[in-house]
Structure 1
Amino acid sequence: MSGVTEASRLGKFSWALFDWANQPYFTVVTTFIFAPYFTSFVVGDPVQGQAYWAYTQAVAGITIALLSPVFGSIADAGGPRKPWITVFVALCAIGSFSLWWATPNMQSGLIWILVAIVMGSIGIEFSLVFNNAMLPTLTSRKKMGTLSGFGWGLGYLGGLIALFIVLLGFSLPETPAFGLDKVAHEHDRMTGPLSAIWFVVFILPMMLFTPDVKSRGIRKTEAIAVGFSNLLDTLKSLRDYRNIIFFLIARMFYNDGILALISFSGIYAAGLFGWGTTSLGVFGILINVFAIAGSFAGGWLDDKLGSKPTIVISVLGLAFASVGVLSISDGEVLFGLPAAMPTEDSGLFESPAEMVFMGFGFIMGFFFGPAQAASRTLVARLSPPEKIGEFFGLFALSGKATAFVAPLMIGVVTDLSGQQRPAMIVIFVLLMVGAALMSFVREPDR
């Protein structure tokens, strides 16, 4: 790895731009705008809506966990990653664009919206497997943290701009752009097509300017056979890769907690405070400002202290924030202190309960990026060069093998309790277990 030829600045920037391209899907679709709209208006019942959303993420998570190592191994055998990225970006774009037809209080056709949500989640996650696998071929071990952190920071900036577009173009004006009908919630539904178009357009620089692994000159059917064979060999000899396996097991837990925290914080706020699109969008913008700063700072910290310390610090910070969110209920904060809730006459985030929630939200935002960027860097540093795609496939598996558990548990707990708040305990437990398991990981010298 130390002999890696540095890609050009344009090549590395174009690779990082992939994070810019995919982030609006996570920001405006799965977190701040469409997901709360889906749970509150498409289904019509926030509790049942949260359960449905959790089940879609569980289905997507199981699919990703089962297939990502296989695809990564096949890509290693065949060589180039860009063809795979193209296929899965197209799948995500189709699923995302289809969300336009998620109308309020759907009486029929809801199953197709659920399918579209699953398609979008599967497509974007598989595309990340192959994009991440390109990282070690673009720069040296010592600089991977900075490049990875820069990509995450750029991604959050893209999400921030996408939120501004949604708010200023569609949500805040009395007459939204393109004459969208607010009564039919077209300003919320527009986030699907917007994310799809954004993704397709902004991956073009990576496709054009970022160097890819050369083809190994074997047929696709042969690459599939070799990929399966190599994956089976790796799985049989996992004891030879104990360090990376310890890391992947730890990541199973803390990444599951991170994804659940990202996905359900907006949903929880919408149900607790009655936030609409504008409040959620402004909240998302402020979260992304902190996430951008955290990602750039985390990339620098990654190269200075190492990936492991960066991950542990970030996960513990997120666990603290999750407890803070858990401490907020109707009329109370910090597990018992009285705090007024918003009223119809309240200004934006004016109530004390909302202010406390916002404070913990900012802590979340700051630590999201470093935890995820340093995880990507660490697996690149731990993986054998000839198996980089395969191990990034296992990396995706580690993020999804238990990823269905958190949404499923949240869905079940929400259904059984009839409340949103108790489900947040699941997130805290996963984060703390993941941080504890990181003590078994040994990071190599850089």
Structure 2
Amino acid sequence: MTQITQSKRIWGWYFFDWASQPYNTLILTFIFGPYFTATLTGNLIAEGMADEAARAQAQATWGWGLAATGIAIALLAPLLGAIADNSGRKLPWIWLFSAMYFVGSGALWWSAPDDFSVLFTLFFFGIGLIGMEFATIFTNSYLPELDDDPAELGRISGSGWAFGYVGGLVALVIMLLLFQATASGTTMAGLTPLLGMDTVTKEDTRIVGPLTAIWFAVFMIPFFLYTRDRATTGASKLVIGESMRALGKTLRGLPNHPSLMAYLGSSMFYRDGLNGLYTFGGIYAVGVLGWSVTQVGIFGIVAIIAGAVFCWISGRVDRWLGPMPVIVFCVIALAFVSLLIVTITPEAILFIPIAEGSTMPDVTFFIAGAVIGAAGGALQASSRNMMTRQANPDRMTEAFGLYALSGKATSFLAPALIALTSQMTGSQRLGVSPVVGLFIIGLVLLFWVKPKGDFES
């Protein structure tokens, strides 16, 4: 068998980010999420609900669906990581979760407005999201194996995240230029939607599901070609009982590793806040600023370009200074921009009235999106590198399972808080305000995190 070089292994690992990013970019944030809430809003208004209440209820429904999915991920993530560590096999799990990603995203095609089922749509959206999140746990755990020099892992992580952003950008551009119709009935490139997509039944938007599925299937090929599990003397079966005991031992031992415990707590809150921004940013623009799906897509292009550039830069900063300064800077930036977003309306910015018809709210939201893309991407890239410093080197997949748990144990919190606040206030704008507090809590907990962790030799 031909030897797989280190360069090929790294590039194969990069391609997971490239292949999986469109689920976040196209489905979760910029295309399908806004489509879901806009469709549900229209249906609720048709049933007699008031306009503002319908928008808030649609945002809340999306939030509760995400919360339910987050609970499922939180319950299973650390156990699956422990099983992978004990069995020594990760690739079979990645194959399984890749299949869930493919089926879940592809099924979103069957979400036409006239036959719109909230339960069906949220179920398959959840299947795809679970597949993506669990596959990410296992692929992230390969990071320490990609270079023997720990200082290089920040650069590799940042470059991989930047590469993923570029993949999401290319997929989004393809969607906007070839499929998604504007108000004129043609795409941004002036073309009739490819394959004769019917704009009345929103085929031009629903195609985002199959497009994401096919994209993932094609671009996972390099990952599977160049990724191999390390040889292990452990069992090759599931060893569920042993894995549960090992996981229990790890959880009981967390108080003995205060830096790891503080980091898991900190990342639990700030990543939850970030996911809230990603998930509801496009939905907010549609409901509060009245943007079209195409405008949200352009907003996404701006955010992704900023994210790709800043991920690449921050990876170099991470290599130079370590991940901690990058994380702190990004959390502060995201807290401020979240506060800014809550004050943006068509009539005012930062509670300062503006002229009727002014484009300043749109421009300000574009700037906020660029900051979210830049700081959010850098934060996630440096956070997974920080995890390699906090974790026990011999239990890396389990550690990333705990990392996923910390990201998902309260992943229902941001959507649930947004859903609850939206319903209580009847305001979609005020509904997103809880994310500010999540960033602040995450920032405070970072004071107890050692930059090199508890396991430093």
Q: TM-score range by the shorter chain?
A: over 0.9
Please name the residue that 2:199 is paired with: 182
Aligned-partner Cα distance in 2 for 1:287–1:392: 27
Identity of aligned residues (%): 39
Report SS of the residue matched to 1:184: coil
Aligned-partner Cα distance in 1 for 2:249–2:328: 31
Structure 2 matches for 1:16-415, cutoff 5 A?
16-44=14-42, 45-106=54-115, 109-139=117-147, 140-171=149-180, 172=187, 173=190, 175-221=192-238, 223-341=239-357, 351-415=359-423
Report SS of the residue matched to 1:87: helix
Report if the CA contact (8 A) 1:270-1:276 is conserved.
yes
- Paired letter, 2:228: P
Aligned-partner Cα distance in 2 for 1:363–1:415: 28
Report if the CA contact (8 A) 1:43-1:105 is conserved.
no
Greater Cα shift, 233-242 or 42-51:
42-51
Report if the CA contact (8 A) 2:88-2:235 is conserved.
no
Aligned-partner Cα distance in 1 for 2:315–2:284: 30
Displacement, 1:111? Answer: 1.3
- 1:339–1:147: structure 2 CA closer, same or farther, 3 Å change rule? farther
The number of equivalent residue pairs is 431
- 1:400–1:260: structure 2 CA closer, same or farther, 3 Å change rule? same
Displacement, 1:326? Answer: 1.1
Q: CA offsets, 1:44-101, max 9 Å, x none?
A: 2432221111011101111111110000000000112111111011111111111001
Q: CA offsets, 1:114-153, max 9 Å, x none?
A: 1111111111101100000010111131100000001110
Report SS of the residue matched to 2:351: coil
Report if the CA contact (8 A) 1:413-1:423 is conserved.
yes
Aligned-partner Cα distance in 1 for 2:357–2:124: 35
Aligned-partner Cα distance in 1 for 2:345–2:41: 23
Aligned-partner Cα distance in 1 for 2:32–2:252: 42
Report if the CA contact (8 A) 1:339-1:353 is conserved.
no
Q: Which runs of 5+ in 1 are unaligned?
A: 1-5, 343-350
Aligned-partner Cα distance in 1 for 2:142–2:102: 22
Aligned-partner Cα distance in 2 for 1:280–1:298: 26
Cα RMSD, aligned residues only: 1.6
Displacement, 1:179? Answer: 0.6
Displacement, 1:270? Answer: 0.7
Displacement, 1:306? Answer: 1.1
Displacement, 1:365? Answer: 1.4
Q: Which runs of 5+ in 2 are unaligned?
A: 43-53, 181-186
Report SS of the residue matched to 2:432: helix
Greater Cα shift, 378-387 or 147-156:
378-387
Aligned-partner Cα distance in 1 for 2:355–2:395: 53
TM-score by length of 2: 0.91
Please name the residue that 2:47 is paired with: none
Displacement, 1:320? Answer: 1.3
- 1:320–1:7: structure 2 CA closer, same or farther, 3 Å change rule? farther
Aligned-partner Cα distance in 2 for 1:394–1:341: 48
Displacement, 1:216? Answer: 3.6
